[in-house]
Structure formats: structure tokens, C-alpha cells
Structure 1
Amino acid sequence: MGLLIDGQWHDQWYDTGKTGGAFQRSTAKFRNWITADGAPGPSGEGGFRAEPGRYHLYVSLACPWAHRTLIFRKLKGLEEMIGTSVVHPDMLSDGWSFADDYPGATGDRLHGLPFARDIYLRADPQVSGRVTVPILWDATRQTIVSNESSEIIRMFNAAFDHLTGNTADFWPEDLRAAIEPVNDRIYDTLNNGVYKAGFATTQDAYDAAVRPLFDTMGWLEDRLTTRRYLMGDRITEADWRLFTTLVRFDAVYHGHFKCNRARLVDYPNLWAYTRELYQRPGVAETVNLDHITRHYHYSHETINPHRIVPIGPDPDFLAPHGRETLQAA
């Protein structure tokens, strides 16, 4: 993954030499919010009113952060309001590409540009930072609304409700204070923890990442013994933020990122919970294990220099999960 510096592309990986071998994720650059009336959100500036056809979502089917936004687009009935473009699974020296010569890759349906970095440059010709997905584009103002997935899913959760009539709420006000620490632990040790383990370049950095990761897996396994979902009997954003990591775990994180103390399928509650979420209407359509397996193994040359794409496991996400009668604690 390269980056832009003052509008110029550099094929440059994270410099773990400055961090003792530890991977440190960059923060998102664009932090505006779509709101129902266009008023400013918690960050950025106002002027991004929810309107049909105004916004376009750029995603990778391999990326768990982008996957969150696709799930919320589906669950909130936003397919007709927000178009999508899907990048090629191979992220090489030019970063995310809009080449469309791989099944599922669509090209840039909005501008016809060759690379994701061109979307950033269209928003700001002098921009500096990593070129990541998802990218939420405003076709009216010709700029990026946001490239922060955790905030995009909250926009999708509520901003368009008055237009769609879909009032499903995955960020309920009465659970927000309880959701935040759960989100924080899962993000630090698991969502991002798999990357901290996989991209570590020293033993100490790897050990510091992988041990808390499996502590959290055990904590989640215990939590889901008495709760159908992370917060009890209601499914929330915390579940979907976790799901996109779990659904990739055995296929790529277990082997490719050396998170091999145990597999997802070795945790009965977590595995059944993942199957239940996968089987929710519309969710399976957002999961593409071919893109997931191809991207990680083919793109990360520092980890897999020969770019051998393994055959991988064949998990049965459609097997009965048996969690229907589990009561909330």
C-alpha cells in the first residue's frame, strides 16, 4: 500500500523500523458526515445532505473495513440510493486499482479513473496520506465525504431513514455507552490486532499483538455463551464490526498473518455466531472469499514473496447455527 505526499504517489510501505517492528495504522484523512438535513456531523464540515443518487461508495471486497459499509448499505436498504465501485483484489505498486479484468471488480463506475488514488487527487490535488478504502464520494460537491469506515456505517445507520423508511437501528442510544468499550477492545486487539500481528517485523512486536488477540477471542467466546449478540438480544454495530474480521479469520488471518493459536471453528460459540450473522438476509451477498483470499496472499509481497495463493479452508457458513433460543444475559 503506497501513499500520496503533496499529491505525488510513492510506492512506500509502513516503516516499522521506526516503531520497533510494530505496525501502526494511519488515521483517516476525510472525516465529514452525511446528515439528514446537511448539518455538520461530529467532525468535518456541513453541507452533505442525504439525497438519493448523490453519493458513491468505493470498496474492496477483500477489505474488512470496506466490508462494514457494504453490510450497512445492504441492511439499511441503500442500494438504490448509493452506487458502488469495486476495486481489483490485487493491490500492487500502484495501490488499489480499478482494473476490471477480475470477476467482481467493476472499474470506476463514476469517473472511469484507473486508480483509487485518483479519487483522492480529484478531491484534493495536494493531498497527503495513505490511499485506503472505503471511500465515500459526493458527486454534487465533487469531493470525498469520508474514508473512515466506523463513521460511514453510522451515517448509513440513520442519515437516510427519512428517505427509505428503514428505521433499523444498529447504534441505539440506550446501548451506546455499553457498545463503545466493546468496540474499542475488539478494534485494538482483533480488528486491527490481526494486522499488528501479520505486519510485525520483530518477534517482540508480533508477541505483543498476538497474545491480546487470542485473549480477546477467548473473552468473546465466553461472552457469547449467555448472549446471542455482543450486547444481548439486539444486534448492533458492534456485531457487524466484529463479523468482518471473523469471516476472514480462518481463510487469511490464521495462516497468512500467523494468528494460528486457534481457528475460528475451534470456538463453538464464535463459530455459530459468525454463521448466524452470515445467514442474515443479504449479508452473504457481501462476502467474497475469492477476493479475500486472493488479495491478502497476492498483494502482501513482504509476507508472501512468491505470491502463492493457497487453497484455503472451505467453511460451511450455511450450516445451522442453533442460536435462535439463546436468551440475553
Structure 2
Amino acid sequence: MQENLSHLTTEQINQNTISIDQMSSLEIIKLMNSEDRSVAEAVGKELPRIAAVIDVIHQSFKNGGRLFYIGAGTSGRLGILDASECPPTFCTPPEMVQGIIAGGDTAIKTAIEGAEDRNDEGENDLKARGLCEADVVVGIAASGRTPYVIGALEYARNLGAATVALSCNNDAEISRYADYKIEVIVGPEVLTGSTRLKAATAQKMVLNMLSTASMIKLGKVYNNLMVDLHASNKKLMERACNMVINVTGVSMKEAERILKITNQKVKPAILMILGEVSFNEADKLLQETDGFLREAILKAQKSQLGGE
């Protein structure tokens, strides 16, 4: 017997778009744009809950824990997207933030719809990653009822890991299996039940907040600059150089010279210039301040003043 999903907001018919199949291209996208405007407002209503989860993730990272996103279909792909951007943006090890999707890596590119229907697969995928009580698991499901995600959250919670449910329906089923719930109610989709639209946009916005704010709290940002980025290509090397120039005011030639010494690492380059210290001294100061550049600069400058 099929489950009746008609009570779910994400499955209801959007009366604003009932004639979308008779519209011109411009009319269609104007309507989509109008519907999308409500997404940020819906996310805004959940900010206190999102902030609470960020604090949990931050504490987990400080204790050596990891962050796992787990979901099926679009939800799973969004988790993988956010996780995969953390190493180049914040120079984190790949295992620190991980995305898991029902059906495995094949499901990233190819829809494997039946993979989401087994509770035990969510548990098995977390077991395969060696989940422990220090970790945080964010289960993502627009409908809020995906068995794969429920199985993962139930296993994680029983293990003692912190659990978070991210959905787009009120009183979502997955919320019952999590310590923290984030329910972003974006309303019926432009295309009935197509949660890759507004629901996915909302999920992406929340995941942006979870990872970015957690990394900021770890000291991986100075002002609003990505000073911990991994400069692995020409574009990122240029970005690293521009950051050093922006913060210190040195010439491009000098910024490139210092970055060569630091192996393209922005934090020690800035610290060497503003703190007037060697690379080894900069590296030591950053270790002493847990990677917080602002604190390291102040410490170096105080040391310089004390020595005068």
C-alpha cells in the first residue's frame, strides 16, 4: 500500500503556478523568481535553530569530531557539494566534513531512486565511515520522511553522536530521530513535488550557513577573507596574493615573495609582514593561537613592543 503524501507541504499543489504550462519563457521564469523570493524568508525563521546547530558543530570540530551530511537524491547531492568545497575553501582535511548519498557515488550523477527506501543502508553507510560519538550527523530530506535518512539518524543517535534533521515540512518524521531540528517551510513547489527547486534552494542556504559559520568560528577567516584557502591553482594563488596585499598593503612583488616562502599559505604570510616575524615564528604563533590570525598578529606585535 502506497503512503499518502498529500498532507506534506512539499507535495501540495501551488495555486500560483497552476497555469505554468501555458506561459511564455519569460512568464515562467518571472513566476519562478517570485516564488524563490520566499525562500530566504523561510530560512530566516529558522536562524535560532541553525545557530544552535552551528555551535554544536563548532564544539565537535574542537574535540576532533567530524561533520557528516547524509541524504538521498538532491538532498544527498547538496550535502556532497557543501562537503567537497570545504578543503579548497578552508584547507580542511577531506574527512573533516563528509557528504554521503543513498546509492553511493554513482547516485551523485545518476538518479537511483530506490536507494532511499532502506533504513539499514543509512546505518551501514555511517558504519563504513567509522562514525563515533564525537561526530555530528545532519540528515537532509526535503519531505522529512526518507527511510535512508531515518536509519542513519537513529543509528547515530543511539551511538551518542549529535544528530540534526534538516527538512522542509512541519513536524517532519526525521525530526523525531534528531537532537536538533531545522524545518524550513518554503511552501508548495513551482512544479508539484519537485523538491529540487525551492526546497533544495533552502537546504543549500542552510548548509552554506552550517559549514561557513563553523569554519569562521574555528579561525579560518580574517575580516571576511578566506585566509585558510588551499591555493592549488593559478586563480587561487592570485586570490591569495590579493588577500595579502589587501590586509598588509605591501606590493604585489613583496606579497608573491612572502607567499613563496610560506608555500602559498596566506595566514603565515600576513603574520610575517604585520608581526615582523620569520616563517618559523609565524608558524609557531599560529599554533599557539589555534590558528586565529588576529590573535597571532596581536601577540607578535606585543612581543615586538616588549622587546623595544
Q: Identify whether the pair has TM-score above 0.5, normalized to the shorter chain.
A: no
- For normalisation by structure 2, the TM-score amounts to 0.31
When Rg is computed on C-alpha atoms for both structures, the one with the higher figure is 2
- For normalisation by structure 1, the TM-score amounts to 0.30
